[in-house]
Structure 1
Amino acid sequence: MDKDTKSSPQFTTAEEVGVTSVHQVSKWQGFKDSFKRSEAQAELENNPNLTDLEKAALATSKAPLERSLKARHLQMIAIGGSIGTGLFIGSGGSLSGGGPAAVIIGFGLIGTMLFNTVHSLGELAVRFPVSGAFSTYSTRFVDPAWGFAMGWNYALQWLIVFPLELVAGSMTISYWSYDGSAAATVNPDAWVGLFYVMIVIINLFGAKGYGEAEFIFSIIKVIAVVGFIILGIIIVCGGAPNGGYIGAKYWYNPGAFSHGFKGVCSVFVNAAFAFSGTELVGLAAAESANPRKDLPSACKQVFWRITLFYMISLTLVGLLVPYDDPRLLGSSSVDITASPFVIAINNAGIKALPSIINVVILIAVLSVGNSSVYGCSRTLAALADQGQAPKILGYIDRKGRPLVGIGITALFGLLCFLAGSDKHSEVFTWMLALSGLSSIFTWGSINFCHIRFRRAMAVQGRSLDELPFKAALGVWGSMYGVGLNVLILGFQFWTALFPTDKASAYNFFSIYLAAPIILAFYIPYKLYYKTPFLRAKDIDLVTGVREVDLDILQQEIAEEKAYIKSKGWYYRIYKFWC
């Protein structure tokens, strides 16, 4: 009896060891199997009864991407997604080229346009949370040829920005060369390689990895901007070590405007570059756990980012730094010393903070690089799903990762190692020209898609009560967005072709190259496939709608409205904007 009692625990222990071993093997096998093609994707078969447009809508609506992004991820993507080098460094070029008043006008107009654009995108994305939102909506609501052009325009933008941001990250470290820091003397390719590996690994963790990384990056950027706003107010009022009330003296001397109206026009493109990435919240809709609940709040957060983070901080920059400061002139997107934020702090006599701002800029650069891989890979997968790119680019594994898209982006990102070459500036100037106006075309297309969607709703007799989320200013806001984007493209054509009194072909193509590239995609596709410009009555308003029970949906919306209405006026205003 005792013998049996003693042997029983030994047998149990041995069996437990065996189970653990099997479990370990199965986890490793599960890891390997996660890279296999998604079973849901493999089951999507061609139906001969469907048109090409219906197949494209079905494929993008059923893309087996991982739906793991939560409300906090989307809100931080919306708040901090575009706080990067465009704000921290590029605003210096805007200040020197246009003056403080031009900065406020240019960024303000772009901001109001983006408010409407993101609301329009939010309405579409909540209704149709499909993969590759921008190109998919263009294909679905406008013209497949335009969707093809917009998809490749957006993919190329991020494909090019990825290596550019990695190089910018390595060059921000050179700021510490003034004190003989060993980090600044290392070959730039060493830092580029480190940043490259880190960003690729983050994206291999899928949507959740991207979301968590952006959540952390955005919190740091937001804290930095809020801190600068508080510090800027103190400096303007004379509370800095160097002392002296500053007020608005730089608006009088050297003045509020530099280079007149042309200077104001030049700010538009810098502002567009600074705001690029705002639309990523719509691209993430397909990977949101609950777009009906999470996206509206994230889209509304854009208003606060525009007013608080951009307009207030840039107003303070205009008060603290004169536009004729020689450190601003000739500033580049990777020169930390050209940052008006750093110049303002240096002028105030604060010694340690410029290094802290440099760390924030480095984080912002890595954040944009992280978004580049995410945005490009999802867009390539959506283009493949629509038959507008090689089918292999649509490969999505069992963890919901567009592996081939990530691989292509990572492969192209190896251009970042040109950072160690003495010819890198020429290469990257022309690479940047490819993506310089991409955001303007993307935003204009989003607004136009919203106009076409609302038109189709009206023609087909669909009620707006079906929409879980409506753009704040409706179709009028989208019309404003389209009109302003067209004006910006016109102004930029003028300033690019005539940087001075004489026309310059080199300057034109180095700035306006994105436009002929888009035409090069659009016209051949249009002529070869003879795609139609979709009529409102033929637009598909059904495929891809994640909400299926309209009665329950309308009941939820009615209950939410009743609850908001029962509260005070201050709460109703808050819910309208947030």
Structure 2
Amino acid sequence: MWVSFKDSFKRAEQTETLTAADYDEEKELTNIERININAANSTLKRKLKSRHLEMIAIGSSIGTGLFVGCGGALRTGGPAGLIIGWLVTATGVFATMQGLGELSVTFPVSGGFNLFASRFIEPAVGFAIGWNYFMQFFVLLPLELVAASITIKYWNDDINSDVFVIIFWLFIVFLTLLGVKAYGEAEFYFSLIKVLAVIGFIIMSIVLVCGGGPTHEFVGGVNWRTPGPFANGFKGVVSTLVTAAFSYGGTEMIGLTAAETENPRKTLPRAIKQVFWRICLFYLGSLTMVATLVNYTDNRLIGSSSVDATASPFVIAIVNGGIKGLPSVLNAVILIAVLSVGNASVYATSRSLNSLAEQGMAPKWTGYVDRAGRPLVAILITDAFGLFALIAASNKQVDVFNWLLALSGLSSIFTWLAINVSHIRFRAAMRAKNRSLGELAYVSQCGVWGSYYGAILNSLVLVAQFWIAIFPLGGKPNASDFFLSYLGFPVLLASWLFYKVWKKDWTLFIRAKDIDVDTGRANIDLDVLQQTIAEEKSQLSEKPFYVRWYKFWC
């Protein structure tokens, strides 16, 4: 056992399915050809099962953005502004994930969306998106460790925060070094607890709204009438959009799992479709209850942030209902959510860095994958940076993390926009090469128009955020607030320009007829695939309406 354990850390043996020799030997490979070959030959292990992916899809982004971040959105947008912000963002997320599903099932390769950006738009965009996404989750690990240490203070405020930071850090390091299967198992149970907690909260909230709580006070729509549905008019609604985007952040992580999924054709579509249920039930359902039970003028909402779990409107709603004991239970759920996001952030960061290394966009040694299928160096780098959370005991922690988050504060929106454009370009390449959609194992339910809608919506959110950054709510224009809100854009632009100068490649986009739509595709017999799909559709058409409806969404 010891020898087996020790040998598992050795470099994985490369089993290439496609090599440079498959190309003309006299032809020098271009950057994008080399990128496609390396991504197709990833040594990551396919160990994630269907139940892992489905639960990751449902619960991966149920974290502090939902439990805590919505408090600030409620305060600035009001109850109607909160719901509108999350609903509008949800439509874009759903359309975006459908396009991502089509690409991920067709190309279950390492790197996911940053590889798609390199492949279907151009490498500099993939470089910028990949490093921006890396920074987003790289910073998130220490941020979540700090959030966990603050959550513990709900029960014990006497012990130094750094003690709990070390405890939680060791727990995350242990999980992440066990490999992708351990990540899947941990996220399965973390997500299950979060899902059950949200469902329980919704049921309890309905009882409280109807006057069934200990105080027997009928809440009804009081908080919607007084002081009103909107806190700051249209500007308040706009301000909730970016908070909503942060809350939904992590939804796209399902695209990173494609290279480590046992059966992408079966499991990825089901996981992608779960996005619909998560949006309807776990977000809009719970937020409607929060907006109904908590008044947006409540002083406890002031100062709420992603590192302050004590300001959770979920906890405030339970306290207002007069229910004792449950606030502690919900804070425990928030703690689990925080650790879950910390675990997921190591997964996202390590896989992003591994993909960048495979594409020649990061030092080659950072792409080291061992025999257990772990991108070992990338995991260790991410875990080591987690110790930055020891700043938890400092009185400057909020300022430090605000500026670190500002570096990639718009990362989710940039990533979704890149997915939209990648899907549009992929469809354009298919048309240019006279290829049929019948070749695809999964086709986006929203079609290419869904990606156009997602691209337009994400672009409008960036414009709206620019407006809020220049003219912040309740304040005057100032450089500090602007860069805290919009620093991510110049960082992304600088990354794109750096790659152009570095590679001396000033191509703005790859022409549709030159896009490679074959390298790295799932090894599927086209005739068998089409026959299987036809049989499945024929069998489904004979089922009752409710079964067909369920299968469409699940």
TM-score range, shorter chain: over 0.9
Q: Does residue 50 of structure 2 align to residue 71 of structure 1?
A: yes
Equivalent position amino acid for 2:505 in 1: K
Tell me which residue corresponds to 1:329. Answer: 302
Shift in Å, 1:422: 2.4
Equivalent position amino acid for 2:44 in 1: L
276, 279, 284: which one pairs with 2:249? Answer: 276
Shift in Å, 1:531: 4.3
Tell me which residue corresponds to 1:344. Answer: 317
Shift in Å, 1:334: 2.5
Tell me which residue corresponds to 1:112. Answer: 91
Equivalent position amino acid for 2:147 in 1: A
Instruction: Report SS of the residue matched to 2:300.
Output: coil
Q: 1:321 to 1:399 in 2, by over 3 A?
A: same
Tell me which residue corresponds to 2:14. Answer: 40
TM alignment of 1:377-392, pairs within 5 A: 377-392=350-365
Contact kept in structure 2, 1:547 and 1:553, CA below 8 Å: no
Q: Deviations over 1:125-146 (max 9, x none)?
A: 0000111111100000001100
Instruction: Report SS of the residue matched to 2:42.
Output: coil
Q: 1:483 to 1:43 in 2, by over 3 A?
A: closer
Tell me which residue corresponds to 1:546. Answer: 522
Equivalent position amino acid for 1:329 in 2: I
Give distance in 2, aligned partners of 1:70 and 1:58. 26
Give distance in 2, aligned partners of 1:173 and 1:334. 12
Shift in Å, 1:262: 1.0
Equivalent position amino acid for 1:553 in 2: L
Q: Deviations over 1:406-460 (max 9, x none)?
A: 0111122111111122222221110111121110000111011001001111111
470, 479, 487: which one pairs with 1:505? Answer: 479
Tell me which residue corresponds to 1:95. Answer: 74
Tell me which residue corresponds to 2:551. Answer: 575
Q: 1:388 to 1:196 in 2, by over 3 A?
A: same
Q: Does residue 61 of structure 2 align to residue 82 of structure 1?
A: yes
Equivalent position amino acid for 1:68 in 2: K
Select between 365-374 and 28-37 the one with higher mean Cα deviation: 28-37
Instruction: Report SS of the residue matched to 1:185.
Output: coil
Q: Does residue 341 of structure 2 align to residue 368 of structure 1?
A: yes
Give distance in 2, aligned partners of 1:332 and 1:379. 26
TM alignment of 1:18-167, pairs within 5 A: 27-40=1-14, 49=27, 50-167=29-146
Shift in Å, 1:393: 1.1
Tell me which residue corresponds to 1:245. Answer: 218
Identity of aligned residues (%): 57
Q: Deviations over 1:295-318 (max 9, x none)?
A: 000000000000000001101111
Instruction: Report SS of the residue matched to 1:39.
Output: coil
- Report which of the two structures shows the higher radius of gyration computed on alpha carbons: 1
Equivalent position amino acid for 1:118 in 2: M
Give distance in 1, aligned partners of 2:311 and 2:522. 47
Shift in Å, 1:235: 0.2
Shift in Å, 1:501: 6.2
Q: Does residue 533 of structure 2 align to residue 560 of structure 1?
A: no
Q: Does residue 180 of structure 2 align to residue 207 of structure 1?
A: yes
TM alignment of 1:278-317, pairs within 5 A: 278-317=251-290
Select between 329-338 and 125-134 the one with higher mean Cα deviation: 329-338
Give distance in 2, aligned partners of 1:358 and 1:319. 20
Equivalent position amino acid for 2:63 in 1: G
Shift in Å, 1:45: 6.9
Give distance in 1, aligned partners of 2:308 and 2:123. 41
Shift in Å, 1:502: 2.8
For these two proteins, the number of residue pairs brought into alignment is: 546
Q: What are structure 1's unaligned runs of at least 5 residues?
A: 1-26
Q: Does residue 509 of structure 2 align to residue 530 of structure 1?
A: no
TM alignment of 1:377-416, pairs within 5 A: 377-416=350-389
Tell me which residue corresponds to 1:172. Answer: 151
Shift in Å, 1:337: 2.9
TM-score (norm 1): 0.93
Give distance in 2, aligned partners of 1:511 and 1:361. 25
Q: Does residue 203 of structure 2 align to residue 224 of structure 1?
A: no
Tell me which residue corresponds to 2:230. Answer: 257
Q: Deviations over 1:311-357 (max 9, x none)?
A: 01101111111111111122222223311111111011101000000
Contact kept in structure 2, 1:78 and 1:299, CA below 8 Å: yes
Shift in Å, 1:58: 1.3
Equivalent position amino acid for 1:557 in 2: I
Give distance in 2, aligned partners of 1:81 and 1:577. 19
Give distance in 2, aligned partners of 1:195 and 1:524. 36
Q: Does residue 326 of structure 2 align to residue 353 of structure 1?
A: yes
Instruction: Report SS of the residue matched to 1:73.
Output: helix
Give distance in 1, aligned partners of 2:265 and 2:441. 6
Tell me which residue corresponds to 2:469. Answer: 496
Contact kept in structure 1, 2:71 and 2:313, CA below 8 Å: yes
Tell me which residue corresponds to 1:16. Answer: none
Contact kept in structure 2, 1:41 and 1:396, CA below 8 Å: no
Contact kept in structure 2, 1:143 and 1:531, CA below 8 Å: no
Tell me which residue corresponds to 1:8. Answer: none
Q: What are structure 2's unaligned runs of at least 5 residues?
A: none
Give distance in 2, aligned partners of 1:41 and 1:389. 22
Give distance in 1, aligned partners of 2:228 and 2:395. 38
Give distance in 2, aligned partners of 1:43 and 1:252. 63
Q: Deviations over 1:264-318 (max 9, x none)?
A: 0110111111111001111101100000000000000000000000001101111
Q: 1:100 to 1:127 in 2, by over 3 A?
A: same
Equivalent position amino acid for 2:333 in 1: V
Contact kept in structure 2, 1:145 and 1:531, CA below 8 Å: no
Contact kept in structure 2, 1:66 and 1:206, CA below 8 Å: no
Contact kept in structure 1, 2:79 and 2:229, CA below 8 Å: yes
Give distance in 1, aligned partners of 2:136 and 2:433. 36
Give distance in 2, aligned partners of 1:121 and 1:58. 20
Q: Deviations over 1:47-67 (max 9, x none)?
A: 564332122111112201110
Tell me which residue corresponds to 1:14. Answer: none
Give distance in 2, aligned partners of 1:200 and 1:564. 45
Shift in Å, 1:548: 3.4
Tell me which residue corresponds to 1:23. Answer: none
Q: 1:157 to 1:78 in 2, by over 3 A?
A: same
Select between 469-478 and 542-551 the one with higher mean Cα deviation: 542-551
Contact kept in structure 2, 1:56 and 1:387, CA below 8 Å: yes
Give distance in 2, aligned partners of 1:114 and 1:91. 17
Instruction: Report SS of the residue matched to 2:445.
Output: coil
How large is the RMSD of aligned CA atoms in angstroms?
A: 1.4
TM-score (norm 2): 0.97
Contact kept in structure 1, 2:428 and 2:512, CA below 8 Å: yes
